[in-house]
Amino acid sequence: MNIKNSPIGFFDSGVGGLSVMREAISIMPNENFIYFGDSQNAPYGTKELKEVKNLTLNAVDFLLDKNVKAIVVACNTATSAAIEEVRSKYKKLIVIGIEPALKPAVKLSRKGKIIIMATPMTLREKKFKLLMEKYKDESCIESLPCAGLVEFIEQGVLDGEKLEGYLREKFKDYLTDDIASVVLGCTHYPFVKKPLANVIGDHVPLIDGGLGTSYELERKLIEKDLINDSKEKGNIEIYNSINDNKIIDFCYNLINIKI
């Protein structure tokens, strides 16, 4: 089989990475995609580093068994914990990670604070510290660890009073000041843009890295001459460590819902 026709593998701790994969599908509809969500072990962001490294390496092996031509670690937490290990273990493979999209937020140059929502692990790790170091003199940036938010999305709760209550509590110290923008530094969070806008106002730009990451994937595929040249729409296969049709159906819905 021509390697160009091989699928692209996406991985996340759960359903969140679909916010990235849906962008990749929109820019490369003729590619085949395989998604693996580890919802059985979600959330990753409050686990020990070693455990997240192991879970990530296992997920990568699962995707490699499906003969993928590239892997997107569509999880900020798994990227910060394990991307170096994945790259050094599979030197020839295209491996794309994701990190909070701080650069576009800084470039907007809006008045007020840039707030970065992410998991505790993402905000604690070296990768994020380096990112902050790069931009800290250009803008006023605050990290907002959001333990507990991934669980809403994993349970299919994408709106409602309880979720808005959670978000209101998280943002209570910021609502009286100007918020320049909010960076969604976890791939689950784009699915709760609406309740978030209800809490902080729909004038605040919400920035996520899904599209930027997908363009990086496309660039790498072009560079290695691995773009699928089929004229047909590609296949999408979804797997989850919770072996239940309900979660698989939910995943297909997440690819198509308007966010």
Closer by beta carbon to ligand DGL, 139 or else 213: 213
CB of 158 to ligand DGL, least distance (A): 14
Whether residue 251 lies in the annotated active site: no
Q: Is residue 42 near ligand DGL by the rule CB under 6 A? A: yes
CB of 41 to ligand DGL, least distance (A): 8
Q: Is residue 122 near ligand DGL by the rule CB under 6 A? A: yes
Whether residue 140 lies in the annotated active site: no
By three-state DSSP, how is residue 69 classified? coil
Out of 70, 188, 190, 210, point to the residue binding ligand DGL (CB under 6 A): 188
Residue 209 CA to residue 212 CA, distance in Å, equals 5
Q: Is residue 45 near ligand DGL by the rule CB under 6 A? A: yes
Catalytic residue among 140, 146, 186, 251: 186
What letter would DSSP give residue 174? Answer: T
Q: Which secondary structure element, helix H or strand E, spans residue 153, and what is its range?
A: helix 149-154
Residue among 170, 169, 155 at smallest CA distance from 254: 155
Strand 179-184 versus strand 141-145 pairing type: unpaired
Residue among 14, 13, 213 at smallest CA distance from 94: 213
Segment 128 to 187, residues that bind ligand DGL, using CB under 6 A: 150, 186-187
Q: Decide if 7 contacts 69 (C-beta within 8 A).
A: yes
**Site stretch for ligand DGL (CB under 6 A), options 28-36, 42-50, 86-94, 226-234:** 42-50
Q: Is residue 210 near ligand DGL by the rule CB under 6 A? A: no
Q: Decide if 15 contacts 40 (C-beta within 8 A).
A: no
What letter would DSSP give residue 67? Answer: T
User: Which residues does the annotation place in the binding site?
Assistant: 12-13, 44-45, 76-77, 187-188
Known catalytic residues are 75, 186
Binding site for ligand DGL (CB under 6 A): 12-14, 16, 42-45, 75-77, 119, 122, 150, 186-188
